[in-house]
Amino acid sequence: MALTAVTRAESVYQALRKDVLAGRLRPGSKLRFAELAARYEASTTVLREGLSRLAEQGLVVAEPQHGYHVTPLSVEDLCDLTVARLSIEGLVLRNAIADGDVAWESRLVAAAHTLERTPMLDPDDSALFNEEWTAAHSAYHAALLDGCANVRLRTVAAALRDSAELYRRWSRRLGDDEGRDVVGEHRSILAAVLDRDADRAEALLTNHIRHTTDVLVAAAADEGL
Question: Tens digits of per-residue pLDDT, 24-68?
Answer: 888 889 999 999 999 999 999 999 999 999 998 888 999 887 889
The pLDDT tens digits for 128-166 are: 889 899 999 999 999 999 999 999 999 999 999 988 988
String of b and e for 167-183 (b: at least 16 CB within 10 Å)? bbbbbbbbbebeeeeee
Helices (H) and strands (E) in the chain, counts: 10, 5
What CA–CA distance (Å, rounded) separates 24 from 136?
24
91 with 27, same domain? Answer: no
Report whether pLDDT(9) > 60.
yes
Q: Is the pLDDT of residue 3 over 80?
A: no
- Which helix (H) or strand (E) segment holds residue 56: the answer is helix 44-56
Same domain? 91 vs 169:
yes
d(CA 225, CA 215) in angstroms, rounded, equals 13
Give the end of a domain, one of 70, 105, 120.
70
The CATH number for 108's domain is: 1.20.120.530
Same domain (yes/no): 205, 109: yes
User: How far from 184 is each of 58, 69, 123, 167, 217, CA to CA, in Å?
Assistant: 31, 36, 21, 21, 23
CATH number, domain at 55?
1.10.10.10
Which residue, of 17, 49, 70, is where some domain finishes? 70
Same-domain check for residues 59 and 84: no
Decide if 147 contacts 106 (C-beta within 8 A).
Answer: no
- Smallest CA-to-CA distance from 135 within 104, 111, 160 is with 111
State which of 22-31, 63-72, 78-87 shows the largest mean pLDDT.
78-87
pLDDT at residue 27, as a whole number? 87
| E runs forming strands in the chain | 30-31, 60-63, 67-70, 121-122, 125-129
The verdict on 132 and 111 lying in the same domain is: yes
Q: With 50 as the cut, is the pLDDT of residue 101 above it? A: yes
CA angle 114, 116, 118 (to 5 degrees): 70
- What pLDDT sits at residue 175? 66
DSSP letters spanning 90-111: HHHHHHHHHH--HHHHHHHHHH
| Burial of residue 3 (number of CB atoms within 10 Å: 0-12, 13-18, 19+) | exposed
One domain for residues 80 and 132: yes
pLDDT winner (highest mean) among 19-28, 92-101, 209-218:
92-101
Distance CA 129, CA 121 (A): 4
Q: Please indicate, yes or no, whether residues 39 and 95 belong to a single structural domain of this protein.
A: no
59 lies in which domain range? 5-70
Same domain, 106 and 194: yes
Name the domain boundary from 70, 99, 119: 70
**Burial, 199: exposed, middle or buried (Cβ in 10 Å; 0-12, 13-18, 19+)?**
exposed
**Residue 127 sits in the same domain as residue 207:** yes
Q: What is the pLDDT of residue 1?
A: 35
Q: Does 145 share its domain with 175?
A: yes
Q: Do 113 and 18 fall into the same domain?
A: no
For residues 169 and 91, state if they share a domain.
Answer: yes
Q: How does pLDDT run across 154-208, given as a tens digit for each residue?
A: 999 999 998 898 888 888 777 666 778 999 999 999 999 999 999 999 999 999 9
Looking at the structure of the chain, the number of domains it has is: 2
pLDDT value of residue 2: 46
